[in-house]
Structure 1
Amino acid sequence: MEHLVQHAVTTIRERFWEPLSLDELARSAMVSKYYFLRVFTRVTGVTPGRFLCAVRLQEAKRLLLSTSLTVTDIAVRVGYSSTGSFTRRFTELVGVSPTHYRKLSLETPGEPREPAPAPAAPPAPVRCAGTVTGILHTEHRVLTPVRVGAFDTPVLQGTPASWSHVSSPGRFTLARVPEGTWYIHAVAQARGGTTGTAPAALTATAGPVAVRGDTVHRLDITLCPPDWTRPPILSALMDLAPQPTAA
């Protein structure tokens, strides 16, 4: 039934600004909404609603960086009827406000964009007991540092509980990971297939990883281009890595 999910994902990407509902997506696939929800979540790792939200906010990020449209206009274009709800959702899932996200690309014209600020260290009452280490692999030539973070969701959104970066595929360590269940996401950019082609995203996800006590988890993950099943990257910290300069 994977073809039904692929059809739904195509519908979401092509009509994200519309008020698409679970019932409508299930009807277009000609299955019950409960069966559709179960299959969609198994294939993509998220519900149709979360996938739709990720696609909308990814388009909002693009418009913020490439146009002079106001936040209100962008909210309407990506399917939100309220600027306030759009701003709250964007800030929660991207990690910075829409205005701040736009500012990141405008502070120094012509220079690499600055990444979003790293999250502050957890407050004292939070027990940070775990360490996650691993080795990153890829068959692609990586042009940027690989950013690795521990997130509480399979969608790469918000700010990580712990993050680090490596200069190329290799060993990484995430220290002081709070107790809980986490997904380990990695992001980098690879050279395009032909001269003049824009760098392509490389991603990897491992998890869920349960961190309890003074545990050390060792992972082995491979960076590769995301396929159609993967929701867009929302986290500003992971997405706004400095762009490579021409050799």
Structure 2
Amino acid sequence: MQSAETTLSTDPLLRAAVERAIVTLWDRHREPLSLSAVAQSADLSPFRLSRAFRAQTGTSPLRFLAAIRMYQAKRLLSETTLSVTDIAFETGYHNPRTFDRTFTTRVGARPERYRTLALDPEPRPLTCTQHPTPRRGSMRGLIRVPLQTPGMRIYIAAFTGPIPRGAPIARDVLAAPGPYHLTALPPGHWHIRATAVPPTPHRPHPQPQQLAVATAHALVQRGGGNVNVDLELRPAEVTDLPTLLSLPEFDRRATHPVPPLGLVFQPGLAGVWTTA
């Protein structure tokens, strides 16, 4: 007999309802959406939608909406000349100061700084520690992808929570499936997210293209040491958050060049990433 949580995740009618809700979030992210409005689009009560949505996506409808708004804000900052104020309104923020504060907290850089890094034609190195420091640990393993696209990029990053906020604690960039290495991880629990993206990111409406994704948890013991975790990416679904699609804009600004697109696997660039 299936549990209630399993039913919320697997029932085809509920999955269709959650997908309708996600399409609404993408279509109407500029609006001041309420949970009731999103639930109405899914033909569910707010309570029922919240439970099914969390069971299928790992987060709430309004937090999913916040992730969409941040994704769209990063896209507009890197692809348009719109002012930060205009971008705030375009992404559903009616107070530019609130947008600035929220963006800085969630992305790890102020909007102006993000745009400078994304548009600068010359590589601008980010602060990156290349070797573990005393009392810090590392995480390594193999990345496997169910399908391969020539020139694909694979991004692996460690965050403090299940929904990425700010810059990752550590990250690695791969040109093909293979070994990855996250270094200088402080002791504690870390949420690992990985995504594979096409060589030229395509941004169809209503959702950006992610080829495959994976999540994992890592516990770094006090005193350092290495944690071995293999990651098996699965085909991306509409219910996946667009969480790591900001990383491609920064991979060329690591301390050393990232392997050119289309080449065979070379070791990625592991380290601590900050926006200072």
Same fold (TM over 0.5): yes
Match of 2:60 in 1: 47
* 1:206 corresponds to which of 208, 215, 235: 215
Match of 2:105 in 1: 92
- Measured after TM superposition, the shift of residue 6 of structure 1 is 0.5
Q: 1:224 to 1:191 in 2, by over 3 A?
A: farther
Query: In 1, distance between residues paired with 2:16 and 2:124?
Result: 37
* 1:186 corresponds to which of 175, 181, 194: 194
Match of 2:267 in 1: none
- Measured after TM superposition, the shift of residue 172 of structure 1 is 1.6
Q: 1:104 to 1:79 in 2, by over 3 A?
A: same
Q: Deviations over 1:92-121 (max 9, x none)?
A: 21222111121123322xx7xx47824679
Match of 1:75 in 2: 88
> Which residues of structure 1 form unaligned runs of 5+?
193-198
Worse-superposed segment, 161-170 or 55-64: 161-170
What TM-score does the superposition give when structure 1 sets the normalisation length? Answer: 0.79
Task: Please say if residues 58 and 234 of structure 1, whose CA atoms lie closer than 8 Å, have aligned partners that are also in contact.
Answer: no
After TM superposition, list the pairs within 5 Å mapping 1:126-205 onto structure 2.
Answer: 128-138=135-145, 139-143=147-151, 146-191=154-199, 201-205=210-214
> Which residues of structure 2 form unaligned runs of 5+?
1-13, 201-207, 253-257, 264-276
- Measured after TM superposition, the shift of residue 167 of structure 1 is 4.3
In structure 2, what residue type is equivalent to 1:131? Answer: S
- Measured after TM superposition, the shift of residue 31 of structure 1 is 3.0
Query: In 2, distance between residues paired with 1:104 and 1:98?
Result: 10
Task: Please say if residues 104 and 116 of structure 1, whose CA atoms lie closer than 8 Å, have aligned partners that are also in contact.
Answer: no
What TM-score does the superposition give when structure 2 sets the normalisation length? Answer: 0.72
1:63 and 2:76 correspond? yes
Task: Please say if residues 158 and 169 of structure 2, whose CA atoms lie closer than 8 Å, have aligned partners that are also in contact.
Answer: yes
Considering only aligned residues, what root-mean-square deviation do their CA atoms show, in Å?
3.2
Q: Deviations over 1:186-242 (max 9, x none)?
A: 2443357xxxxxx96444332233333346432222345532111113574455334
Q: Deviations over 1:156-188 (max 9, x none)?
A: 442112223344321122233222222212244
- Measured after TM superposition, the shift of residue 246 of structure 1 is 8.9
* 1:240 corresponds to which of 223, 245, 250: 250
Task: Please say if residues 203 and 224 of structure 1, whose CA atoms lie closer than 8 Å, have aligned partners that are also in contact.
Answer: yes
Identity %: 33
Query: In 1, distance between residues paired with 2:135 and 2:76?
Result: 38
In structure 1, what residue type is equivalent to 2:47? Answer: Y
Q: 1:56 to 1:7 in 2, by over 3 A?
A: same
Match of 2:230 in 1: 220
In structure 2, what residue type is equivalent to 1:27? Answer: Q
In structure 2, what residue type is equivalent to 1:31? Answer: L
In structure 2, what residue type is equivalent to 1:60? Answer: A
